[in-house]
Every structure is written in C-alpha cells, then in structure tokens.
Structure 1
Amino acid sequence: MKFTQFLKNKGAIAAIFMGIFYAIAMLGIFIPGYSAIPNNVDQMPIAMVNDDAGEYGKMISEQLSEKLPFEKIETDLSNKQAMKQLEKNDLALIIHIPETFSADMQNGEAASSIDFTTNGASSTVVSSTMTSIVNQINAQLSTQFSTQTAQGVLMNLNIPEEQAAEMAQMIETSYTGNMVTINEVPAGMNNNMLPMFLTMAGYTGAMIGAMQLVSAFRASRGKASKIRLFIYLQLTALLIAVVSSVLGVAISYFVNGYGTELLLGLTAQQILNYMVCFNFTAILIFLVGEGGMVLNLPILLIQTLANGATMPREMMYLPYEWMSYISPMYYSVQAYFATLYGSVSAAPNQWMMAAIGGAALLINILIVAFLHKPVPIEAPEAQEAKLTNAAEITA
C-alpha cells in the first residue's frame, strides 16, 4: 500500500479533518473570547456609596466617578443594598465612604478609611482586576491626602519640635484604604477553579456518553420499541451520572478537604449537571448521528469561556454572552460558587440548569418520536439466533 492510498482511508481522512477543524475551532473561539480581558473591564458594574455629607466625601466620590475605568457606577444604592447585590455577583466592587470620613480628616485623626469590598466567590478576573484597581486608587488617594495635610502643616511656621513630629505622623497616616473580601476562597488554584473543574468533568463525560449511548440506541433498533430504548438510554445515563459523581466529588473532598456537610449537596448537583449536559449534547447526536460530536466540540469550547469561571457575563462579547444564557455550564459554575464559597442560595442557578435539561429532554423525545422512523421489532427467537450465529462465526 502506498502512502497516498493510506491517506484515502476513512480513518486517516477523519483524523486529518478533526486535527484541522479542532485547531481552527479552538483558536478561533479562544483567542477572540479571551481578548475581552482586559478590553471589557469597563463593563463590570460597581457601586459608589457615599455616606459622608462633608466636603472630603463629595470630593472623593466625584473624583473617582470621573477617573475610574467603569462605564456603569451605581451611586443611588445604600451600603446594605449594594452588599446584597455584591453577594449575588450583580456588582464587582463596592466603594464605601463612611459617614465620619470628612470629620476624621478635618480633625487630623489617623486611619480614616474607605472600604473597597469584593466578592471572592466570583470569576477569577474580577478579584484580580479589582485588587489591582483598588491598589492604584489607594496609592493615589494616600498621596493626595498626605500632600494636602502637608500643605496645611507648612502654612504654620515656627512649630515646636514635638508638635511638628505629631504632624509628620499625621501626614503618613492621614488616609488608609481598607480592602475587604466577602466569601473569601481558600488559597490555591485547586479551590478557585473547582467549580469549573467539576462542571467540565460532568460535561465532557456526558458528551462522550451521549455519543456512545445514542450509538447503542441506534444499534439496538428492532430489538425493542423506540420508547423502551430511549428509557434504557436515560436510565444508563443516570447510572453513569450517579457513579461518576460520587467518585468525582470524593476526589474533590480528599484533595480540597471540604466538610462532610457539603458532600450530599455537591453530589446531587453533579448528578444534575451530568444529566442536563447529557441531554443537551445528545440533541445534535440524535439529529445527525456521530457528526453531532463534531458540532458539539465548538459548543463546548465556547462554553469554557461563557461559563463565568474566568470572566463575568458583563465582560463577554455578545456570542459568548448569548451562549451563557442557554449554557448548562454557566449555571453549574455559578451554583458551585454559591454552594462552596458563597453566602447566597445556589437554588436559582440549579433551577435554571433543570429548566435547560428539561427542555433538552423534551427536544430529544420529539426527535426520537418524529424523526426516527419505526423499525419492526424482531422476535426474541430471531434475536437469539443472530447472537448464536455471531458467536459461532467468532469461534
């Protein structure tokens, strides 16, 4: 056999196609998608809460509103309202100017602070970006207030030595910025990325399982009714979901050391994640057969950006943002963040997952009912005869 003949083999053609297709799909999806960081940082919503009625509070809020690199800055929220939105990740940062800020500065009291609050149970880019921006703000404000205080000191001449030392100390401590993180995630990428890892494990396993089980469904046509085979397919998927979820959560438990009170909830959510992703990815395979796996790959790649683990929905470009609304991965990641590290309920995201799974299951039922033609069911004797002949030929 010549090399050119080997290249015409179906397996070689498929390998060439998948290698080229996967490279184009992956780079064509990832490179544009990740260019949103830091291009779309200005799309993240933040809140400015000024409880200070004095001049300093007004000055700071006006300056920050003009200089901060964000298009949407909420200024009409109370600190309590803003904190509720932050817990739900509807806000990326809260800047809170306390009620006594101006009075403390005017009286020369040390450590008058502004609180900058972020939510640790959120996309990785949010916490890193907000920390960087807050550090820059604090450096600028510290210099500004120290300069203003120094100018006031220099206006007073012939100051006694002791008083001058006190004023010098006041200059150094005239302003401090207080960085606060709610729902702080334990140190380590294994903790920060766990919501995505659990979700990806369920999704990829479900996608491969959908290809194999739909293939088994097609191969078994004529041996049982479409309804029975479809039920068998779903029951097998559920069995895989239970076993794989128990093992996957067990690995997470032993490596990350989370409390046993989370085990049942995480396992139940992982089972839900598998079943939803199974039916979601099975749609294309029921429609076009094994070719559906090729179409499922770019959908998977888009969801790795659109799942909210790396960047929030507000930063995503439109195709990725649209995908996030119908993506089981997005709601799975958000539910895991809430369950593992958050202070809000994971139920809304779990219900959205269930809704997507229910819709996907209904679509699969309709595909099987109306697009898959009925096949006459063979008698059990004929099926046994085929199995016997196959066994004899093999022997």
Structure 2
Amino acid sequence: MKFTQFLKTKGAIASIFMGIFYAVAMLGIFIPGYSAIPNNVDQMPIAMVNDDTGQYGTMISEQLAEKLPFKEIETGLTNNQATEQLEKNMLALVIHIPETFSADMQNGETSSSIDFTTNGASSTVVSSTMTSIVNQINTQLSNQLSTQAAQGVLMNLNIPEAQATEMAEMIETAYVGNMVTINEVPAGMHNNMLPMFLTMAGYTGAMIGAMQLVAAFRESRGKASKTRLFLYVQLTALLIAVVSSVIGVSVAYLVSSHGAEMFAGLAAQQVLNYMVCFNFTAITIFLLGEGGMVLNLPILLIQTLANGATMPREMMYLPYEWMSYISPMYYSVQAYMANLYGSVSAEPFQVMMATIGGAALIINILIVALFHKPVPVVETEAKAETVPPSAEITV
C-alpha cells in the first residue's frame, strides 16, 4: 500500500477531519470567549450606598458614579439589601459610605473609611478585577480626602504653625479604604477552581461513558428489548456515577479537605452532576451514533467558558450567556461554590440541574422510541435441544 492510498482510508480521513475540526473549534470558541476579559468588565453590576448626608458623601458618590468603569451602578438600595444581593452574586461590588463619614473627615477622625465589599465565592475575574479597581479608588480618595480634610480642619482653627503641621500630618492618614470580602475562599488556586474541577471531572467522565454505553446499547440490540436495554444503560450510568463520585471527591479531599460533614453532600451532588451530564451528552449520541461526539466536544468547550467559574454571565458574549442557561456545568459550578464557600443555599442550582437532567432523559426516551427501530429479540440463553443420542457403534 502506498502512502497516498493510506491517506484515503476511512481512519486517516476521519483523523485529518477531526484534527482540523477541533483546532478550529477550540480556538474559535476560546479566543472570542476569553476576549470578554477585560472588554466586558463594565457589564458587571455594582451598588453604591451613600448613608452620609454631608458634603463629603455627596461629593464622593458623584465622583465615583462618573469615574467608575461600570454601566450599571445601583443607588437605590440599603446596605443590607445590597449585601444580600452580593451574597447571591447579583452584584459584583458594594460601596458603602457610612453615615458619619463627613463628620469624621471634618474632625480628622482616623477611623473614617468607606467599605468596599466583594464576594469571594464568585467568578475568579470578579474577585481579581474588583480588588484591582478598589485599590485604585482608594489611592485616589486617600490623596484627595486627606488634603481636603486637613484644609477643612486647620482653616477653622487658630493654632500655631508647628501644631498645624503636626495635625496636618495626622489628618493625611485620616482616610483608609476598608476592603471587605464576604465568603472568603481559602488560599490556593486549587481551592478557587475546585467547583470547576469537580464539575469537569463529572462531565468528561459522563460524556465518555455516554459514548461507550450507547455503543453497548446498539451492540446489544436483538438480545433484549430496547426498553430493557435503555434501562440497563441508565442503571449502569448510575452505578458508575456513585463509584466515580465517591472516589473523585476522596481525591479532592486528599489535597483540599472541607470537613467530614461535607463529604456526603459533595459526593451526592457529584452523582447528580454525572447523571445529568450523562443524559445531556447522550442526546447527540443516541441520535447520531459515534458522530454525536463531534458535536459534544464543542459543546463542552463552550461550557468551560459559560460555567461561571471564570467570568459571570454579565461579562459573557451572547452565545456563551445563552448556553449558561441550559448548561449543566453552569449550575453545577454555582452549586459547588455555594456549598463549599458561599452563604446561600445550593438548592436552586441543584433543582435547575435536575430539571435539565430530567428534560434530557425525556428527550433520550423519545429518541429511542421514535428513531430506534424495534429488533426481534433472539434468546441467547442456552436451550435444551432435543438431540437424539448417538448410536453406539459396534464392531
């Protein structure tokens, strides 16, 4: 066989196609998707709560509203309301100007501060971006307010020059920006990315499992009814889900322990994650056979950006945002984030996962019922055949 003939074989053609297809798919999905960072930082919603009725509070709130790089700045919330929305990741940052801020600045109180609160249990981009922006804001406000505070106090006092200089130096340190983080994630990138790692482990295992079990389903046609075989596929997937989830969470605990009391809950969620992802990825395989994997991998790649671990929905371009609403990975990541580090319930995200899994299961049942033709069942069990005993040969 010549090399040119080998290149024309089915395997070689398929390999060439897949190499080109996935190179284009991966780069075509990842590069545009990640270009949202930092292009879409201005889409993140924040809240500014001004409880100060003095001149400093009004001045700062107006300046921040004008200079902050965000299109949506909510100003009609109380501090408690804003903090509650922050805990649910409906906001990326809460700026709170306390009631006594102007009075403290005018009196040179060293305890004067503005609270900048972020949620550690959120997308990595949100935490890092908010910290960077707050540091810049604090530097500018510190320079501006310390000078104004010093001038305001000294202009109203008739004191010797030496004392005035000493007081000015003290007042220059009057403003200290207070950076507050709720739901702080333990140090280490592995902790920050654990919700995505657990989700990816379950999803990829389920996707490969779907390919193999649907292949077993097809190969076993004629040995049992398609209804029974479909049930066998689901039971096998559930068995794999339980075993792999316990082992997977155990591996995660070897590196990052979260307490024995959380183990069962995390393992149960991983089982749910596997089963939902299994039926979600099995749709294309039940429908198209092995060719369904050609579609499954780009769908997986899109979800790695649309799962909310790296960036929030507000920053995503529309195709990725749309995917996040039907993505098992998005709700799995959010549920893990709430369970591991958050202060809100993971139940709404788990309910959405179960809903997607239930819808995928129904679609698979319909595909098997409508597109997989019935095959006569041939009994494979050994049957007693009535064979006449061989005649004894006598010589």
Specify if TM > 0.5.
yes
Q: Distance in 2 between matches of 1:384 and 1:327?
A: 53
SS at match of 1:314: helix
1:162 deviates by: 3.5
Residue 90 of structure 1 aligns with an amino acid whose one-letter code is M
Q: Distance in 1 between matches of 2:377 and 2:333?
A: 43
Q: State yes or no: 1:17 paired with 2:12.
A: no
Q: Distance in 1 between matches of 2:384 and 2:93?
A: 67
Aligned to 1:392: none
Aligned to 2:249: 249
Aligned to 1:273: 273
Q: Distance in 2 between matches of 1:70 and 1:100?
A: 27
Q: State yes or no: 1:189 paired with 2:194.
A: no
Residue 269 of structure 2 aligns with an amino acid whose one-letter code is Q
Residue 18 of structure 2 aligns with an amino acid whose one-letter code is M
1:43 deviates by: 0.4
1:117–1:181: 8 Å Cα contact kept in structure 2? yes
Where has structure 1 moved over 6 Å in runs of 4 or more? 382-385
2:30–2:305: 8 Å Cα contact kept in structure 1? yes
Deviation track 1:349-393 (CA, whole Å, cap 9, x = no partner) reads 0000000000000000000011110000012358999xxxxxxxx
Q: Distance in 2 between matches of 1:374 and 1:9?
A: 33
Residue 329 of structure 2 aligns with an amino acid whose one-letter code is M
1:158 deviates by: 7.0
- The equivalences for 1:66-77 within 5 A come to 66-77=66-77
TM-score with structure 1 length normalisation? Answer: 0.94
Deviation track 1:33-70 (CA, whole Å, cap 9, x = no partner) reads 00000000000000001111111111111110111000
SS at match of 1:121: coil
Q: Distance in 1 between matches of 2:83 and 2:381?
A: 69
- The equivalences for 1:82-97 within 5 A come to 82-97=82-97
Aligned to 2:300: 300
Aligned to 1:165: 166
Q: Distance in 2 between matches of 1:344 and 1:299?
A: 29
160-169 vs 281-290, greater mean Cα deviation: 160-169
Aligned to 1:137: 137
Deviation track 1:127-183 (CA, whole Å, cap 9, x = no partner) reads 000000000100110111122234447757872423421222112x12110000000
2:107–2:153: 8 Å Cα contact kept in structure 1? no
Aligned to 1:312: 312
* CA pair 157-367 structure 1, distance change in 2 beyond 3 A: same
- The equivalences for 1:325-364 within 5 A come to 325-364=325-364
Q: Distance in 2 between matches of 1:246 and 1:184?
A: 26
Residue 68 of structure 2 aligns with an amino acid whose one-letter code is L
Aligned to 2:57: 57
Aligned to 1:389: none
Q: Percent identity?
A: 80
Aligned to 1:100: 100
Residue 239 of structure 1 aligns with an amino acid whose one-letter code is L
1:340 deviates by: 0.3
Aligned to 2:233: 233
Residue 194 of structure 2 aligns with an amino acid whose one-letter code is L
1:217 deviates by: 0.2
Consecutive unaligned residues of structure 1, counting only runs of 5 or more, are 386-395
1:272–1:354: 8 Å Cα contact kept in structure 2? yes
SS at match of 2:177: strand
TM-score with structure 2 length normalisation? Answer: 0.94
1:107 deviates by: 1.2
Structure with the greater alpha carbon radius of gyration? 2
Residue 160 of structure 2 aligns with an amino acid whose one-letter code is I
342-351 vs 152-161, greater mean Cα deviation: 152-161
2:106–2:152: 8 Å Cα contact kept in structure 1? no
Q: State yes or no: 1:124 paired with 2:112.
A: no
Q: State yes or no: 1:198 paired with 2:190.
A: no
87-96 vs 142-151, greater mean Cα deviation: 142-151
Q: Distance in 1 between matches of 2:304 and 2:283?
A: 19
- Counting matched residue pairs gives 384
Residue 165 of structure 1 aligns with an amino acid whose one-letter code is E
1:223–1:383: 8 Å Cα contact kept in structure 2? no
Q: Distance in 2 between matches of 1:255 and 1:273?
A: 21
Q: Distance in 1 between matches of 2:161 and 2:28?
A: 69
Residue 82 of structure 1 aligns with an amino acid whose one-letter code is A
2:108–2:150: 8 Å Cα contact kept in structure 1? no
SS at match of 2:203: helix
**Cα RMSD after superposing both structures:** 1.6
